[in-house]
Amino acid sequence: MASQGLSVDGERQHGQDVRTANVTACVAISNIVKSSLGPVGLDKMLVDQVGDVTVTNDGATILKLLEVEHPAAKLLVELAEQQDEEVGDGTTSVVILAAELLRRANELVRSRIHPTTVIAGYRLAMREACKYIKSTLATPIDKLGREALVNAAKTSLSSKILGSAESDLFANMAVDAVMATKSSRKEDGETYPLSSIHMLKAQGKSASESQIMQGYVLNAPRASQSMPTSVSPAKIALLGFDLRRAKMKMGVTVTLNNPEEINKIQEKEVDLTAQRIQTVLNAGANVILTSKGIDDSALKYFSGSNAIACRRVTPKDMRRIAKATGATLQLNMADLNGDESFDPSMLGHAEEVYEDKIRDDTVIMIKGPKLQPINTVLLRGPNEMMCDEMQRSLIDATSVVKRILDSNMVVAGGGAIEAAVSTHLENFATMLGSREQLAIAEFAEALLVIPKTLAVNAAKDATDLGKFSPAVDAVV
């Protein structure tokens, strides 16, 4: 009897109507980014609630700024984000292809083909497509040399804001930046860590005056003009705590009966900070970077020891410098005995650290880090919006170059691979006698959405594209 009083609010939907609604939402997301695909794709202008304007044709950026609420459409947004994290480029292509596969799968289900059969056919087509690409269409990069890397970077940049006059400059810059990060380890082999490429945006001048600078450019000036402008060799200490006067924590109250004791407390606060700084300097550090502040009264200790100190360095910069120089970020100085100490093994090493000037800003340059080569790409542009899009474009290009170097394989672009694989899968489907061949044939047709979209965006006629697929297959 108790169960009769229970009620569950809400409405349960199932069946073909729900599938169609989910596919429609995914296709709507695909249509938003479809016009931005290819070298003649259009940019999107997005304005958020605050009024900030973003102009881009990067699929992941567009979808990230959309406020998508539909659960099925959110899966495509997450797909683009995952593609951006894993590969770095191709975010628009995967969204368009996924939406087309869903649309065609929905049509098969409407034709009384069971969803399990469709899924099995899609998986079989995927494995066959990957096998065909690796065995027939992929070309080892060793045979093609540097020119293939530059062309791949150009392909990535062709659909971006840098794909016009500056494509040669930035394609070579992307290749040089990735090649400069090459590191060899016994356990990993040759690797190209993109985290070793630091990008610094500086407004002013034209995009053609962007350049690669050897070393790490830290966008933070010296804490005092009395400090030396150059230190060589550099021993770098990375601190994650304050070098300001030690103060009582919130809620702690000290009651004094004698006013003269106030001066002693203030002197002790200054002495504690001075002892900390002296402990770091005694360990041999001559470059001190902290993510917190430094008291003005404490700057004299650094100047007297011919050391460079920078305050309020961003955590991201601290992590990159630590990885390159071998330094360890110290969050406190407490040891097991309850005292404060600083171990010299926590220091990072570099050939030289000196102050330089970019535009009107003073920066610190770290050259010749001990563990890992690192470089900085200096991006110049007329405004912040242009610099942001340049950074996104160059990140995509460097990611493409890294993937090619890691896999040592490259394939043709411009929709040629999709057309060739489509023709191969159509022939492959005819060899099967099961119902999966219907799903494989639809998978093959879905692949043609990439070359068709490229043709439509270029104001060409894409209606007869299917007729030329065998010719494309023969050429490739």
Specify burial of residue 62 (Cβ count, 10 A radius: 0-12, 13-18, 19+).
Answer: buried
CB count in 10 Å sphere of residue 451? 23
C-beta separation of 354 from 230 below 8 A: yes
- Exactly one of 56, 58, 61, 317 is catalytic; name it: 58
Q: How far is CA 244 from CA 346, 366, 387, in A?
A: 22, 25, 35
CB count in 10 Å sphere of residue 225? 11
Say which amino acid occupies 171: A
Token pair belonging to 251: 């809620």
58 is catalytic: yes
CB count in 10 Å sphere of residue 36? 19
- Exactly one of 54, 56, 61, 92 is catalytic; name it: 92
C-beta separation of 436 from 124 below 8 A: yes
Q: What is the distance, to the nearest Å, from the Cα of residue 170 to the centroid of all Cα atoms in its chain?
A: 17
296 is catalytic: no
CB count in 10 Å sphere of residue 46? 15
Determine the Cα–Cα distance for residues 15 and 387; give it in Å rounded to an integer: 48
361 is catalytic: no
- Strands 44-47, 308-310: pairing is unpaired
- Exactly one of 396, 423, 453, 473 is catalytic; name it: 396
C-beta separation of 114 from 463 below 8 A: no
Four-residue CA torsion sign, 406, 448, 25, 22 = negative
- Exactly one of 54, 56, 91, 453 is catalytic; name it: 91
Catalytic residues: 58, 91-92, 396
